[in-house]
Amino acid sequence: MLGMSAKGRVLIIDDEPGIRDLLSQTLSEVGGYETEIATDGLDGIEKIRSSEFDVIFTDLAMPRLNGMDFLKKCKEIDIKTPVVVLTGVSSMEIAVNSMRQGAYDFITKPFHLDKVVSTTKKIIEERKLFGRLASSQGSEVSLRTLNAELFKKLQEIATLHSISADVDDCHENKEIYARAAGMAAKLLTVNEVSFGIIQDGLLEIKSAIGIVGKAFPLAGTFLARVIDKRRHHVADVGETSPYDGAAMSSQFLAIPLVVGNEVFGILSVSGKADGTAFSEEEIYLAIDFVKKVASKIENNALYEVFFNNLVDSLKSLIATIEARDSYTKKHSERVTLYALQTAEAMHLGSDEIDTIRFGGYLHDIGKIGVRDTVLLKPGHLSDEEILEIRMHTVIGDEIVKPMKFFESEREIIRHHHENFNGSGYPDSALGREISVTTRILAVADSYDAMTSNRPYRRARTHEFAINELTRCAGTQFDPEVVRVFLETPIGGGIFT
Ligand SMILES: [Fe+2]
């Protein structure tokens, strides 16, 4: 049922004046709709009680009555007007919930104004169509169609949500590059997807489905225009393919990946499985996906800079500790090297290798909290002094604890003096309770400790050290780690 205006009446509920005025202006000037605004949910309820609307747009976070409660209230008082929820990408779960509360659709912020107009148009047309269907074929048919629509929409949101979580899970940009094409293919049913980075006038393909080739020149193709204009482009059937120069047999959608102010890459999709043209919804879905990817890439880049600075600071901190104690100079570096060789020989994954790379450097970081008089004491240590030295594992753990991303390295720092049979410190952890990276580090650490000069004794020989490791395999050390260590260049005595 349409309101007074021929094109339709729209109610916009938002507590931010800037947003509601912009929406209202766009819908009336571009869309030709009659608009009214409400400042929050309660105001919205008053408006729909006194006047009739064809579409309602509502914000979620608002004073007095928020968007979710507004939806509930609409249900209670039996308002049938379709409500579109405006939401941030981060509150995708709220979007799913609002659909369950009866919202008709949702639009993620920052939204495209064209999308607001096209959504309004679509809803009003659909309502007209359903009105006709209901009168000509009975309400059962339209209800079934409505359910199918709703189901499709919910599926779309669930997919977008899971892909959004997948993107968030990629902590390294090379991982995003490698997975971008696959994720886009999950979002749209197409036969060809490519994700490329712009480099020296070429589009270097980082991941692709159905596209052969590693790099394509951009000059003279419509991709060059996409980069110039920083705007997506839909190329039609018959246009020249940027990949092989042939006339294309399906539509081709190219979306620029903008980071900062630069176009950094391009995601393109083509060859729709059902042979149809891209719908506006599909285009916006793909654009939202590329935006999500771009913002994650930017975050990762910032994080990498931050992380590298942090690692440099930690390394210089370790150097300071080692400088205090001339006997352990370069100890952390050597232990890391031995542990890495062992880990590689054991075919550990790249995550575990990275853990050893950082954890190896950091394992004795807690020694910063042990007094020089104890740390450097040449003679016999009292029980109390032994306890103080042992505290370096716990102190080190406390130092890196606030840095959330050092979880697996923390385990190395805390447990590198634990023994395989549970007789170590500080937690008496046993066997596989101790991570494999820590079990490797313990062997490397002991080997280096034995073969270096110490305040209380001179360095032992390589033979002595490997005899000790072998003797203590199964009690102090993981026997499998000892076996592999003895096969590495250092454990095999090549450098002695
Ligand atoms: Fe230690």
Name the more confident of 197 and 127.
197
pLDDT band at 87; cut points 50, 70, 90:
confident
| Nearest CA-CA partner of 471 in 481, 460, 462, 479 | 479
Query: What confidence tens digit (pLDDT) does each residue in 215-258 have?
Result: 999 998 999 999 999 999 999 988 999 998 888 988 999 999 98
Q: 393: CA distance to ligand 1 center in Å?
A: 7
Query: What confidence tens digit (pLDDT) does each residue in 180-196 have?
Result: 999 888 888 888 999 99
Q: 311: CA distance to ligand 1 center in Å?
A: 19
Q: 366: CA distance to ligand 1 center in Å?
A: 8
Cα–Cα distance for residue pair 37/17, rounded to 1 Å = 9
pLDDT band at 129; cut points 50, 70, 90:
low
Phi-psi domain of 78 (left: phi exceeds 0; alpha: psi -120 through 50; beta: other): left
Q: 378: CA distance to ligand 1 center in Å?
A: 17
Predicted pLDDT of residue 134: 53
pLDDT band at 341; cut points 50, 70, 90:
very high
H or E stretch covering 205:
strand 202-209
Q: 328: CA distance to ligand 1 center in Å?
A: 11
Name the more confident of 378 and 486.
486
Q: 488: CA distance to ligand 1 center in Å?
A: 22
Q: 332: CA distance to ligand 1 center in Å?
A: 9
Q: 417: CA distance to ligand 1 center in Å?
A: 6
Q: 352: CA distance to ligand 1 center in Å?
A: 20
Q: 385: CA distance to ligand 1 center in Å?
A: 15
Considering the chain, what percentage of its residues have pLDDT values greater than 70?
88
Q: 493: CA distance to ligand 1 center in Å?
A: 23
Query: What confidence tens digit (pLDDT) does each residue in 358-409 have?
Result: 889 889 888 887 888 888 888 888 999 999 999 999 998 988 887 766 788 8
Strands of the sheet with 34-38, listed across from one edge = 34-38, 9-13, 55-59, 83-88, 105-109
Q: 363: CA distance to ligand 1 center in Å?
A: 6
User: What is the mean pLDDT of the segment spanning 291-301?
Assistant: 85
Give the range among 133-147, 436-450, 452-466, 471-485 with minimum mean pLDDT: 133-147
* Residue 272 amino acid letter: K
Q: 351: CA distance to ligand 1 center in Å?
A: 22
Query: What confidence tens digit (pLDDT) does each residue in 33-63 have?
Result: 999 999 999 999 999 998 889 899 999 888 8
Q: 9: CA distance to ligand 1 center in Å?
A: 72
Query: What confidence tens digit (pLDDT) does each residue in 440-468 have?
Result: 999 999 999 999 887 777 888 999 999 99
Q: 240: CA distance to ligand 1 center in Å?
A: 64
Report whether 406 contacts 363 (CB < 8 A): no
Dihedral angle computed from the Cα positions of residues 100, 101, 103 and 105, in that order, rounded to the nearest 10 degrees:
-20
Predicted pLDDT of residue 300: 80
Q: 496: CA distance to ligand 1 center in Å?
A: 24
- Model confidence at 479: pLDDT above 70: yes
Considering the chain, what percentage of its residues have pLDDT values greater than 90?
37
User: What is the mean pLDDT of the segment spanning 262-287?
Assistant: 87
Tokens of 299: 């975050």
Predicted pLDDT of residue 290: 92
Q: 473: CA distance to ligand 1 center in Å?
A: 19
- Model confidence at 26: pLDDT above 50: yes
Q: Strand pairing partners for 239? A: none
Q: 446: CA distance to ligand 1 center in Å?
A: 9
* Residue 428: DSSP 8-state: -
Q: 314: CA distance to ligand 1 center in Å?
A: 16
User: What is the mean pLDDT of the segment spanning 9-27?
Assistant: 91
Q: 414: CA distance to ligand 1 center in Å?
A: 9
pLDDT band at 2; cut points 50, 70, 90:
very low
- Where do runs of H (alpha helix) occur along 330-425? 331-345, 350-362, 372-375, 383-390, 392-400, 407-415
Report whether 123 contacts 326 (CB < 8 A): no
Q: 344: CA distance to ligand 1 center in Å?
A: 22
Predicted pLDDT of residue 89: 54
Q: 381: CA distance to ligand 1 center in Å?
A: 16
Name the more confident of 90 and 25.
25
Q: 469: CA distance to ligand 1 center in Å?
A: 17
Predicted pLDDT of residue 151: 65
- Model confidence at 326: pLDDT above 70: no
Q: 392: CA distance to ligand 1 center in Å?
A: 7
- Taking the CB of residue 116, how many other CB atoms lie within 10 A of it? 23
Please, what's the b/e burial string for 58-74 (b: 16 or more CB within 10 A of its CB; e: otherwise)? bbbebeebbbbbbbebb
Q: Strand pairing partners for 36? A: 11
- Model confidence at 324: pLDDT above 80: no
What is the pLDDT of the chain when averaged over all its residues?
85
Q: 317: CA distance to ligand 1 center in Å?
A: 15
Q: 443: CA distance to ligand 1 center in Å?
A: 12
Phi-psi domain of 370 (left: phi exceeds 0; alpha: psi -120 through 50; beta: other): beta
Q: 439: CA distance to ligand 1 center in Å?
A: 13
Predicted pLDDT of residue 3: 43
